[in-house]
Structure formats: C-alpha cells, structure tokens
Structure 1
Amino acid sequence: MAVAADIERATDSRTDWVREHVQRYVGSGGAEGHEWRGLPTLVLATTGRSTGEPRRTALIYGTSGEDLVVVASQGGAPEDPQWYRNLQADPQAGVLVGTRRLTARARTASADERGPLWERMVAIYPTYEDYAARTDREIPIVLLTPED
C-alpha cells in the first residue's frame, strides 16, 4: 500500500537521469524538478508487486478535473512499465506534484475516456505519438484520483 510518505523511502529507478531527477525533486520538497525540460512532472511511488517495497519514478502528467493523468508508454516498449504493473496489483500510490504530497488511487482510463485523454497528453508531449507507433500494445492512460 503506497502512501505519500513512501515517496521519501522508496527505491529509485535504475536509469541514471530519472534517479537524479527524482532525488532532486524529492530532496527539494518539490521546489525543484516539477518542471523537466519544460514539461510538468510528478513523482509516483508504487508498491512493488513482488517485493512489497515502495518504488518511485518521475512521470510527465496532465490533469482531468481533480485527477492527475499519466501515460504508461515506457518509450514505446513492447511491455507495460513496472510502475503500471505495480498499480494493477495495488492501485494506491503516493504522489509528489510540485510541493503537494498526496495519496491517490489509480485506475486505467476506460475506452470512452482514453481518446480525449490521449489527445490531451499528446498536446503536452507530442513524442507519445512516436512511442505509440513503436509498439503493438495500446499504451495505457492512468488517472490518479487524490484520496486526501
């Protein structure tokens, strides 16, 4: 069960630039790192489905009402990212968005929601279209609904 407090103690990505970004973001309490290369980012803490340990990563996000929206693209890889698979096993997540820490419940966008949300996220980060062209899977869109 990931909660906002897990953001502090979670294990970071093995990818150097992601780890460095997350550590700066969390270390500054969100004062640094919210904007990455001109894009809005959040830190997501999930519970590892095998280990039960908190894991964290940084993701580009958008909004839909009160929900935060993230894309499980993994650069167009043939498989879903680990963080998405963790959320499928346990949908509760810790989130740091700017300086705001919250606990959220994740769900995959429905077929009806997906089209407009995909367009919204592509408007933020057009490279998602390139990622979609690289893979046969439908890239999931995840809504993070704040619980607190």
Structure 2
Amino acid sequence: MSNESSAQIAEARKDWKTEHMEMYISSGGSQGHIMDITPVGGPVLGTHCMIRFKGRKSGRTLITPLCYTMVGGEVLICGSKGGADSHPNWYLNLVSDPRVDFQIGTQAWQGKWREPEGEEREFAWKVLISNFPFYADYQKSTDRVLPLILMNAVEPVPVFTTPE
C-alpha cells in the first residue's frame, strides 16, 4: 500500500481514532478498552491499549490507541500503519526513546519495550494474526516488515489524561 493511500485511510478513520482515544481517556479506561472492530476485519471483542511516548522531533507527550494482545505475559502491539510503506510515527518515536507508558483498561504502567526476533517473533506474529487477522492483510500490502513491540510493566503510573 502506498503512503498516499495509507494517508487517505488515516484521514477517513481520523474521527473514529480521536473519538476512541477521547472515550478511553475521559472514562479513565472503563470504556474503549474492548470494542467491536468487525468493520475493519477485527473481532467483536477487540482489545485496545494506549501508549504514551515523547515525540522525537517535538518533544511533546503523545498518546496513541492501538490493538494489543498478550504473548507470554507481555503486551504485543504492531506498527502496521494500515500496511503503508512507511512505519507509523509512534514506532519511530519509540525507537528514539526506550521509555513507554501504556494503559490497559483502568490501569497504566511505565514500561520497557523490545522487538522480538527469530522464532520468538514468528510465534508473536502467529498469536497477533490469530486475534487480529487484518494484520496479515496489512503485511501483504507492503514490502516492509511490520514491526512488533513487546511491552513489560515496570511500575504503575496514573491513568492517562489528555496531553497538553
């Protein structure tokens, strides 16, 4: 998928993403964690987390909602950008800063993240696409390898509020 077509899809889903994040944040995580994502090829009970990170250029605190699943006690997210030919900004920001905060439902943590490799990555990919089959379609639409991120909780932090 070209970056141009990815931008068109992002624009079309912008309102949904914004509404989703606002619902998640304003409810303290009691809403927005589990949502029906069948319209985009996902499950009725699709699980979502939010990640909070620092912008590599702006230095601003940013929050992004993402689908997640669990693998071996770690939280797994994917840098798909809908199958675009470039990585999502949130992934590029993570690569430049090892710290990430993440929220699942009504709990948030300061975390560490890493990218699985080899057999571990293959296993994580299989778990991901078994829960969210649309990621396999995203992978088919681009030559880049969609990055996988595994996150571990280090210590609890307050639930997210709207970044300033």
TM-score > 0.5 by shorter chain? yes
Give yes or no for contact 1:19–1:57 (8 Å, CA) kept in 2.
no
Corresponding residue for 2:52? 45
What are the Cα deviations for residues 123-148 of structure 1, in whole angstroms up to 9, with x where unaligned? 11001110000000011110011111
Q: TM-score, normalised by structure 1?
A: 0.87
Q: TM-score, normalised by structure 2?
A: 0.79
What are the Cα deviations for residues 19-46 of structure 1, in whole angstroms up to 9, with x where unaligned? 1101100110110000121200001111
How far residue 112 of structure 1 moved from its aligned partner, in angstroms, is: 2.6
The equivalences for 1:1-148 within 5 A come to 15-37=14-36, 38-148=45-155
Q: Provide the alpha-carbon RMSD of the alignment.
A: 1.4
How far residue 110 of structure 1 moved from its aligned partner, in angstroms, is: 1.5
What are the Cα deviations for residues 58-112 of structure 1, in whole angstroms up to 9, with x where unaligned? 1110112331100111110001100100100012111110111111112111123
How far residue 17 of structure 1 moved from its aligned partner, in angstroms, is: 1.1
Q: 5+ unaligned residues in a row in structure 1: which ranges?
A: 1-12
**Amino acid in structure 2 at the alignment position of 1:107:** R
2:100 alignment partner, SS class: strand
CA distance in 1, matches of 2:69, 2:153: 14
The count of aligned residue pairs is 136
Tell me which stretches of 4 or more aligned residues in structure 1 moved more than 4 Å.
Answer: none
Between structure 1 and structure 2, the one with the greater Rg is 2
Q: 5+ unaligned residues in a row in structure 2: which ranges?
A: 1-9, 37-44, 156-164
2:59 alignment partner, SS class: coil
Identity %: 32
